[in-house]
Structure 1
Amino acid sequence: MLAVVQQTISVTAPVFSMLFLGVVLKRLGLVDVAFINTASTLVFRGTLPTLLFLGIIKADLSAALQPALLLYFVLATLGCFLLAWAWSVWRCPKADRGIYTQGAFRGNNGIVGLALATSIYGDYGLSVGAVLGGVVILSYNILSAIILAIYSPQAKADVWSVGKSIVSNPLIIGVLAAIPFAAWQIPLPAWLLTSAGYFAQMSLPLALICIGATLTLDSLRQGTGMAISSSLMKVLWLPVLATLGAGLCGFRGADLGILFLYFVSPTAAASFVMAKAVGGNYQLASAIIVISTLASVITTNLGLLLLQWVGWL
């Protein structure tokens, strides 16, 4: 079990390092509000869609394709989304419901979930996790676009406006654009893939630096209650329900373990980028990312230990 703890920390530690770097750069005056706004826009409209595009076209959609597992993940994600939304309606101010809901259901599966699945389950974890990642990307971004469009201060909540916000979302466009290339194995020039890779690799560092730069004691104090609530929902309550459901549906062993790791992953850095893009409470989004990442180190390891104890892994 100590090895699993070390793996979890090795995956989450770089995230904290970049967050801390953002705090330091802001204190030194090397990062200001203008940089945060520009960098966040660049990530949302450029580097992150490119990263998602490359992730899809490099995935072997025919390998480790398990319809039952993929279907369960989609249904469980939708259920978690609706539960988080219902709770936010009861407990959160209207303006913060979109940020709270996104923070509670949208996991950092591309970094934390896939890395842990690969570390624990080897090539099988990598292949299943990569295929599952394509479903994750599409479902997370569509649901996030919907909830943020409904509660964004500058958005209209009618069906036409919400639909328009979904189809015009750069992250969703990046995913949809990649599907034909992946499905039909359309080759792209090596130089183009290399250049795109350089560009895409800026996504996570830039996003995390911006998150760290926006963190202040005042913003953490003001949103502590909601941030803790959303974080616990992300890394504790919803993973418990979703994993229990998976176990009752008959998933066992590596398949159940991979589902659990994807459900329990901390809130994705992309949630901050999307919150900033729609004019939402990005300070709350920042706090949720930090708290959920810290808490996931504990809940991930306890969850794996408990699943082994009941004989499901």
Structure 2
Amino acid sequence: MNLFSLFQQTLETTLPVFAMVFIGLGLRKIDWIDERFVHTASALVFKATLPTLVFFSIIKADLSTSLNPRLLAFYLLATLASFALAWLWARWRVAREDRSVYVQGAFRGNCGIVGLALAANLYGDFGLSAGSILLGLVIISYNALSVIVLAAYQPGRSAQWRRILQDILRNPLILSVFAAIPVAWLNLQLPEWVMTSGDYFASLTLPLALLCIGATVSLNALRSDSSTAVSSSLLKMVMLPALCTGAAWVVGFSGAELGLLFLFFASPTAAASFVMAKAFGGNDRLAANIIAITTLMASITVTLGVFVLKGAGLI
């Protein structure tokens, strides 16, 4: 396969995902969708359609290949290392009042939507099932680490730990993973009409969520941005994905596993980081700018990353 054909194949994987994001941006610009729609649709995705997608992806999966403790352990260690590296860099180069938002923006990726959508495009059912299981670990680790760094720079907020832990344990995505694994492990067969209806409902998830991501990107916010947001975005989209994916290759990951790890590492900053920054009294404008910049960068960095890894025969 020549380079042009390889690049064309790469675009066929990444463009459908990012096209939906830019369509959402355009629809918001011409007022075909508004903030109320985004709020309602986002709640529907988070509370219902995405948990349904995760549940059905897992119960249809072969857990002997999708449930990989080694992959889960590596992702957790890489996440902790990324978090520590971002925090060390922030202590050296970032003003104290912006450090918590900077760190959260640099390590917390939108794996639940963008990462999962890219994994599904690139690896089909395996990408969905293995990505869904990995997503359970992502939700717990990202939320816990975000609370740690936000609380560290916001004295008086640490008393919320119990409520935060309860919120994590009640997270619909976590519950869907916990519900699905025993069903898949015991090979329980659900009625055909339940499977079909579930597939219909779950199919709403990715296009609706990607439209909402695009609709929340604020180009106006980018015009008032500072170098802090750009620095956090470069760390999130270039440096950390390169380091973590390189480390994964060195320890022996390859093929679909390496590709899945890269897509999760390279996902743009999660929109939830804005909500948590605001709740802890952080610089919410900086958080919004990081989300916008990384979302726009992802269409280029993820495409180039997949192209390079495919060209090298690693995924």
Q: Compute the displacement of 1:145 (Å).
A: 2.2
Q: Show the counterpart of 1:258.
A: 259
The answer on 1:141 being equivalent to 2:142 is no
Q: Cα RMSD (Å) of the superposition?
A: 3.4
The residue aligned with 2:178 is: 176
Taking structure 1 as reference, are residues 44 and 99 closer, same or farther at Cα in structure 2, changes over 3 Å only?
farther
Q: How far apart in 2 are the matches of 1:165 and 1:81?
A: 21
Q: Does 1:293 align with 2:299?
A: yes
Is the partner of 1:62 in helix, strand or coil? Answer: helix
* Contact 1:231/1:288, CA 8 A, preserved across alignment: yes
- Distance in 2 of aligned mates of 1:188 and 1:156: 44
Equivalent in 3, 19, 24 of residue 22 of structure 1: 24
Matched, 1:34 2:36: yes
SS in 2 for 1:181: helix
| 3-state SS of paired residue (2:77) | helix
- 1:16/1:137 Cα in 2 relative to 1: closer, same or farther (>3 Å)? same
What per-residue deviation string (whole Å, max 9, x for no partner) do you get for residues 273-299 of structure 1? x34665755733243222223222223
- TM-superposed CA distance for 1:111, in Å, is 2.1
SS at match of 2:158: coil
2: distance between equivalents of 1:227 and 1:84?
Answer: 13
User: Is the CA contact (8 Å cut-off) linking 2:45 and 2:205 kept in structure 1?
Assistant: yes
Q: How many residues align?
A: 296
2:101 corresponds in structure 1 to 96
Q: How far apart are 1:76 and its partner, in Å?
A: 2.3
Relative to structure 1, is the Cα distance of residues 72 and 131 closer, same or farther in structure 2, using a 3 angstrom cutoff?
A: farther
- Tell me if structure 1 keeps the 8 A contact 2:105–2:273: no
Deviations 1:71-111 (A, max 9, x none): 33332233234434544565371563475045458484322
2:267 corresponds to which letter in structure 1?
P
Distance in 1 of aligned mates of 2:110 and 2:208? 23
Which amino acid is 1:145 matched to? N
- Alignment of 1:233 onto 2:244: no
What runs of 5+ residues in structure 1 fail to find an aligned partner?
Answer: 119-125
Distance 1:57 1:85 in 2: 38
* Counterpart selection for 2:308 from 296, 302, 309: 302
Aligned to 2:117: 111
Residue pair 2:140, 2:168 contacting (<8 A) in 1 also: yes
Distance 1:131 1:177 in 2: 14
- Are 2:167 and 1:165 aligned? yes
CA distance 1:174–1:257, change in 2 (3 Å): closer
Residue 187 to residue 278, structure 1, CA distance change in 2 (3 Å)? farther
Q: Give the structure 2 partner of residue 58 of structure 1.
A: 60
Per-residue deviation, 1:61: 0.2
Report the counterpart of residue 281 of structure 2 in structure 1: none
Task: State the distance in 2 between where 1:237 and 1:105 align.
Answer: 17
* Residues 1:84 and 1:184: Cα distance change in structure 2 (over 3 Å): farther
Structure 1 pair 245–61 and aligned structure 2 pair: CA distance change class (3 A): same
Q: Is the 8 A contact 1:243 1:260 kept in 2?
A: yes
More divergent stretch after superposition (173-182 vs 83-92): 83-92
Summarize the Cα distance change of 1:68–1:204 in structure 2 as closer, same or farther, 3 Å threshold. closer
1:128-162 Cα offsets, whole Å, 9 max, x none, are x5564244211211122224445399x95343233
Q: Which residue does the alignment assign to 2:205?
A: 203
| Aligned-partner Cα distance in 1 for 2:198–2:110 | 29
